[in-house]
Structure 1
Amino acid sequence: MRADARPDLAALWRRVGELSERCGRDPAEVLSVDRLSHLSGVEPDRVHRVVAGTAAEVPLERRVHQRFLRLRATRRDKHGREWPLAAIADDFDAPGASLGPLNAGTGLPRLGHAAGVQRFFGVHAGFLLADSKSAVERALALSAATGTGATAPDGPDGLEHLSYRTGMTPKAIRLTLDGRPPRLPLKEQVHQRFEHLRRTRLREDGQPHSLAAIAKSFDASGQSLTRLAQGEGLPNLAAAAGIQRFYGVEGGFLLADDTEALATALTGIEYELESAEREEENPMLAVLRAHDVRSIVTRAGRLSPRGWKSLADHLDDLLAREGQLGREGEAP
């Protein structure tokens, strides 16, 4: 079941290439298979087949295993070595042995461990879970957004739209935009977002989908989701993937922290606006700019006088590289 129609990846690929040219970027670089693979976790030799719709989907356990191995192979420590399992697991207070089955491809990690692995490597919350089409779709959207201005809706309607996309409350969205995202325990966050999905993605008769119907879509019983619905436990990784697939949301919907969830929604909105080729700058752009400036000023305000001078010197260097005026009002 899909709440929103999935885009045609081949058409999306073409639009990203056209957008890249309009932005003065080389489409071959923006659409590099290696780059898209790095963003999505999809193996390079599968990218074109996924876009063409000819790649068979990889089973979840194998997919998660392959992407974990790819993370270790492409995101190395400062010495160029693969991160040991113990170092990865220590980041989320687990023993290295707990990642043994994932590394060997003999089992799926717990949901909390999957969240920890993705956070450790700095990838989006659906990196391990997203099906190939979703992963490439997201990577293409990110490629399209590179080098363009981000957008953020203002006013009640805009916040409700973001709430629908992210599962966050309007209040949480405002706090996140202000640089003060709420920090919820993973169990509470997943419960709230699951309830948000049930409340906002209804059946044709206007009623929520039953737990049995949701679970049946991934060959489980409705009872397997009871504790999640009551806020008493986390689903396993396969169930989380099934819930997100059932509701047609991206693979990190349940796991993404508020900042990432909002960034994902904004990236999607940004691409939608760009692909529509609106001629006038969206008025919502000023809102995000204001929040960015406020965040920078707030952090800069904690600097020492020496820190202020260092920041000013850095900005002068940056302005010079951009061909802008420096502090003395002279063109570099």
Structure 2
Amino acid sequence: MRETRRALAETLSRIGSLLGDGRSPGDVLDTEKLSIDTGVPKDLIKALLDGEEPPEEDVTDRIIRRFDHLRETRLRPDGTRHSYEEIAAAFGASRASLSNLVNSRKKTPPEHGAEQRPGRSGGPLASTQAGIEKFFFGQPNGWLSAEPESVLNDALQPVLATLRSAAGADSDSYSEPRVVALRTAATLPDDKWALVAGFIETLERQVREERRQER
């Protein structure tokens, strides 16, 4: 856990340094998009961006909450949710096994800072978690159970890469670094692209506002 906190702190520090002008990641990052991308509640995203530590959370509760989050945000082409039967069939499980998992614990996370019960053993089988992740991501990746700092740090890597590319542009003009940043971001998956595009748009608005004030 300490390593994931340290990694996130380093990423936030690098992003802050590249932003310059005293701006912090929390000033420009879209917390709503980050929440959708990571499965971490929006208020906890804000707290992590401010350097706070997350409250303790039962790992099984986290897995259930993120599974439910995936069904709400990674929809079928027609805009409907994937069914338990459809997901379970993809890795040889039963619909009842997923339904029982989701209904076994409360899915609504407590408010940030509220007291939570300590973690417990007896969570879902590793094969169930791996099967769900393979269905939504193409391969098991530990996303369902990963610590909030870890998934947030992963989600911020495209932003950090885009900022580094823009900072390395051969021009001090505003437009050319933006082109470099967009070229870098264009290779990202759709969900990552949405996050970086929103980030770039926020920076653009801030730059335009600063220039108006200078005039």
1:43 match: 41
Within a 5 Å distance, the mapping from 1:179-190 to structure 2 comes to none
In structure 2, C-alpha distance between the alignment counterparts of 1:95 and 1:33, rounded to whole Å: 35
* C-alpha contact 1:88 1:117 (8 A) present in aligned 2: yes
Q: Percent identity, aligned pairs only?
A: 32
TM-aligned CA distance change 1:146 to 1:70, over 3 Å: farther
TM-aligned CA deviation for residue 8 of structure 1: 6.0
**SS of structure 2 residue aligned to 1:55:** coil
TM-aligned CA distance change 1:91 to 1:38, over 3 Å: same
TM-aligned CA distance change 1:102 to 1:16, over 3 Å: farther
- Name the aligned partner's letter for residue 63 of structure 1: R
- Name the aligned partner's letter for residue 130 of structure 2: A
Higher relative contact order structure (alpha carbons within 8 Å, sequence separation ≥ 6)? 2
* C-alpha contact 1:57 1:132 (8 A) present in aligned 2: no
TM-aligned CA deviation for residue 18 of structure 1: 4.7
CA RMSD of aligned residues (A): 3.4
1:32 match: 30
In structure 1, C-alpha distance between the alignment counterparts of 2:27 and 2:162, rounded to whole Å: 12
In structure 2, C-alpha distance between the alignment counterparts of 1:5 and 1:79, rounded to whole Å: 37
TM-aligned CA distance change 1:146 to 1:112, over 3 Å: farther
TM-aligned CA deviation for residue 15 of structure 1: 2.2
* C-alpha contact 2:5 2:149 (8 A) present in aligned 1: no
Per-residue CA deviation, residues 117-142 of structure 1 (Å, 9 max, x unaligned), is: 11111176121111112222222224
In structure 1, C-alpha distance between the alignment counterparts of 2:81 and 2:27, rounded to whole Å: 26
* C-alpha contact 1:99 1:109 (8 A) present in aligned 2: no
State the structure with more CA Rg. Answer: 1
* C-alpha contact 2:44 2:54 (8 A) present in aligned 1: yes
TM-score (normalizing by structure 2): 0.56
Q: Give the count of matched residue pairs.
A: 146
In structure 2, C-alpha distance between the alignment counterparts of 1:8 and 1:94, rounded to whole Å: 36
2:145 match: 129
2:60 match: 61
In structure 2, C-alpha distance between the alignment counterparts of 1:31 and 1:13, rounded to whole Å: 11
* C-alpha contact 2:130 2:141 (8 A) present in aligned 1: yes
In structure 1, C-alpha distance between the alignment counterparts of 2:133 and 2:34, rounded to whole Å: 17
Within a 5 Å distance, the mapping from 1:63-142 to structure 2 comes to 63-106=62-105, 108-122=123-137, 125-142=141-158
In structure 2, C-alpha distance between the alignment counterparts of 1:30 and 1:71, rounded to whole Å: 25
In structure 1, C-alpha distance between the alignment counterparts of 2:31 and 2:134, rounded to whole Å: 24
- Name the aligned partner's letter for residue 141 of structure 1: Q
In structure 2, C-alpha distance between the alignment counterparts of 1:5 and 1:70, rounded to whole Å: 22
TM-aligned CA deviation for residue 34 of structure 1: 2.0
Within a 5 Å distance, the mapping from 1:191-206 to structure 2 comes to none
In structure 2, C-alpha distance between the alignment counterparts of 1:5 and 1:97, rounded to whole Å: 35
Structure 2: state its 5+ residue gaps. Answer: 106-121, 169-215
**SS of structure 2 residue aligned to 1:7:** helix
Per-residue CA deviation, residues 73-126 of structure 1 (Å, 9 max, x unaligned), is: 101111211111000111112211121232224473211111111111117612
TM-aligned CA deviation for residue 148 of structure 1: 6.7
TM-aligned CA distance change 1:18 to 1:119, over 3 Å: farther
Structure 1: state its 5+ residue gaps. Answer: 150-273, 278-332
2:118 match: none
In structure 1, C-alpha distance between the alignment counterparts of 2:131 and 2:104, rounded to whole Å: 18
In structure 2, C-alpha distance between the alignment counterparts of 1:85 and 1:29, rounded to whole Å: 38
